[in-house]
């Protein structure tokens, strides 16, 4: 795989740090001198739990101060890329799957494999899929922080009014379509489901459920134009145009699917575990909605993704940053996150506390899908080819072009990107 310098909005910029060797042992040695580390995240809802984690970290390491900075997600990656050009990345920051290869292969992240081995740090409590996500060229770059899977949120009140049994693990695609048809009452402004154009919460799941794949980075191929890929994509398009049980994409642009679900205008909404704390505090949804496992196609599947904490290769304090990284990945930090109800901690066994923090919902449904979860597809230029996906598939969602008519051209463009990574 060719190593590229940092990619900014499709423009390659040479970065001084591109030629820099990322040596795990470079930088300062651990001392008890006062040190300040910067830690960058993007979620205000998680700030209280993170502040508590930092407070407890400082009881053990009082000489390491942590400056916690929240940057909105809409600005987060641009901020990091700009910081990367000046070798001024935060010492520690959140990383996600679509970006880890881009940062790792441009020497922006400190590999931690040797530190894991030297400290006998136990990675076994974390889901294997997440460890693989943050392993690039056989180097581990992150300790998993949390994870999410995708579930079928549904409005119990609308199901009761239509005398339909609630979704459960026996549901398949046909069950969902049949229920959506009964629940749809356009005259009352109610649709059975919101067939939104979304990769992680939408068509990636159904492509895998159809037995297909999204990308294969070993062979630089994309699977959208296989029979299984087409079937998984058409599932959503058909909900709008064949079965007419979903609002149009224009309606969902004018009024986001989340808002329609939160107001009782759609009965089912496929999305992630990250909505659990949102729906738990919404006056309309907190007692009216619940969640179930995703219906199966030819097989069961759900997309798993999760965040990891990483260390900048530019940090002047790699040893102190490593101590902080270990604490962020500890069982105690996972407990604090779980009790806040904001995210499913990645540390095995602590998920139960997250489930218990959401008594109104069957949140266990998200955990029970781990055995067959597929990691969120990613490569070096994930964001670039994901934008191509959306540009092409939008034409199918509007009904302008049939899925079969566009996938070959779309796949050609994606495979060209993969081949040049």
pLDDT over 50 (residue 179): yes
Tell me the average pLDDT across 40-52. 94
Q: What is the pLDDT of residues 372-395, one digit of tens each?
A: 999 899 999 998 999 999 999 999
Q: What is the pLDDT of residues 344-358, one digit of tens each?
A: 999 999 999 999 999
Tell me the average pLDDT across 71-89. 92
pLDDT over 80 (residue 62): yes
Q: How confident is the model at residue 340 (pLDDT cuts 50, 70, 90)?
A: confident
pLDDT over 70 (residue 8): no
Task: Yes or no: say if 276 and 151 are a contact pair by the CB < 8 Å rule.
Answer: no
Tell me the average pLDDT across 56-73. 97
The pLDDT value recorded for residue 342 is 87
SS3 302: strand
With residues binned 3-state (H G I as helix, E B as strand, rest as coil), the percentages for the chain, rounded to 5, are 45, 20, 40
Radius of gyration over every alpha carbon of the chain, rounded to an integer in angstroms: 22
What's the pTM?
A: 0.84
The pLDDT value recorded for residue 341 is 86
306 backbone dihedrals φ, ψ, rounded to 5°: -165, 160
Tell me the average pLDDT across 140-152. 96
The pLDDT value recorded for residue 15 is 33
The pLDDT value recorded for residue 12 is 34
The percentage of the chain sitting over the pLDDT mark of 70, rounded to a whole number, equals: 93
Give residues with Cβ within 8 angstroms of 9, minimum separation 6.
none
Burial annotation 279-295 (CB, 10 A radius, 16+ → b, else e): bbebeebeebbbbbbbb
Query: Of how many residues is the chain composed?
Result: 421
Classify burial at 357, counting beta carbons within 10 Å of its beta carbon; exposed 0-12, middle 13-18, buried 19 or more: middle
Q: How confident is the model at residue 11 (pLDDT cuts 50, 70, 90)?
A: very low
pLDDT over 50 (residue 112): yes
Q: What is the pLDDT of residues 325-337, one digit of tens each?
A: 999 999 999 999 9
pLDDT over 50 (residue 17): no
Computed over every residue of the chain, the mean pLDDT equals 91
Question: How far from 9 is each of 41, 385, 386, CA to CA, in Å?
Answer: 21, 12, 13
The pLDDT value recorded for residue 129 is 82
Tell me the average pLDDT across 309-335. 97
Structure-block tokens of residue 7: 């990619």
SS3 244: coil
pLDDT over 50 (residue 401): yes
Of the candidates 372, 378, 377, 369, the residue with the CA atom closest to the CA atom of residue 149: 369
pLDDT over 50 (residue 272): yes
Residue with tokens 């060797």: 21
Tell me the average pLDDT across 85-98. 94
Task: Yes or no: say if 311 and 27 are a contact pair by the CB < 8 Å rule.
Answer: no
The pLDDT value recorded for residue 23 is 40
Tell me the average pLDDT across 254-282. 95
pLDDT over 50 (residue 284): yes
Q: What is the pLDDT of residues 184-241, one digit of tens each?
A: 999 999 999 999 999 999 999 999 999 999 999 999 999 999 999 999 999 999 999 9
CA–CA distance, 178 with 42 (Å, rounded to integer): 39
């Amino acid at each position: 795989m060719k190593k590229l310098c940092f990619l900014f909005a499709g423009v390659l910029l040479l970065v001084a740090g591109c030629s820099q060797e990322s040596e795990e042992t470079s930088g300062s040695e651990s001392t008890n001198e006062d040190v300040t580390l910067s830690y960058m995240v993007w979620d205000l809802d998680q700030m209280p739990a993170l502040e508590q984690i930092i407070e407890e970290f400082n009881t053990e390491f009082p000489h390491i101060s942590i400056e916690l900075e929240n940057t909105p997600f809409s600005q987060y990656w641009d901020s990091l890329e700009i910081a990367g050009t000046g070798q001024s990345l935060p010492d520690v920051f959140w990383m996600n799957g679509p970006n880890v290869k881009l940062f790792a292969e441009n020497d922006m992240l400190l590999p931690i494999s040797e530190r894991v081995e030297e400290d006998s740090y136990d990675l076994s409590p974390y889901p294997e899929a997440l460890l693989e996500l943050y392993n690039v060229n056989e180097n581990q770059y992150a300790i998993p922080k949390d994870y999410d899977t995708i579930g079928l949120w549904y409005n119990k009140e609308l199901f009761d009014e239509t005398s339909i049994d609630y979704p459960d693990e026996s549901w398949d695609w046909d069950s969902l379509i049949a229920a959506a048809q009964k629940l749809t009452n356009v005259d009352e402004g109610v649709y059975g489901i919101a067939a939104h154009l979304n990769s992680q919460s939408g068509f990636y799941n159904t492509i895998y459920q159809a037995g297909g794949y999204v990308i294969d980075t070993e062979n630089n191929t994309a699977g959208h134009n296989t029979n299984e890929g087409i079937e998984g994509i058409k599932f959503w398009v058909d909900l709008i145009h064949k079965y007419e049980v979903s609002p149009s994409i224009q309606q969902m642009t004018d009024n986001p699917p989340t808002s329609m679900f939160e107001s009782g205008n759609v009965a089912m909404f496929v999305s992630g575990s990250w909505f659990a704390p949102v729906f738990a505090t919404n006056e309309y949804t907190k007692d009216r909605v619940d969640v179930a496992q995703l219906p199966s196609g030819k097989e069961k599947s759900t997309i798993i993704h999760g965040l990891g904490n990483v260390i900048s290769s530019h940090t002047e304090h790699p040893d102190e940053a490593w101590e902080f990284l270990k604490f962020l990945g500890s069982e105690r930090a996972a407990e604090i996150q779980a009790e806040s109800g904001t995210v499913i901690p990645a540390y095995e066994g602590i998920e139960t506390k997250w489930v218990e923090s959401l008594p109104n919902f069957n949140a266990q449904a998200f955990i029970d899908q781990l055995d067959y979860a597929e990691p969120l597809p990613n490569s070096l230029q994930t964001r670039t080819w994901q934008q191509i996906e959306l540009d092409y598939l939008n034409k199918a969602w509007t009904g302008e072009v049939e899925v079969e008519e566009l996938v070959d051209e779309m796949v050609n463009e994606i495979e060209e990107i993969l081949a040049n990574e």
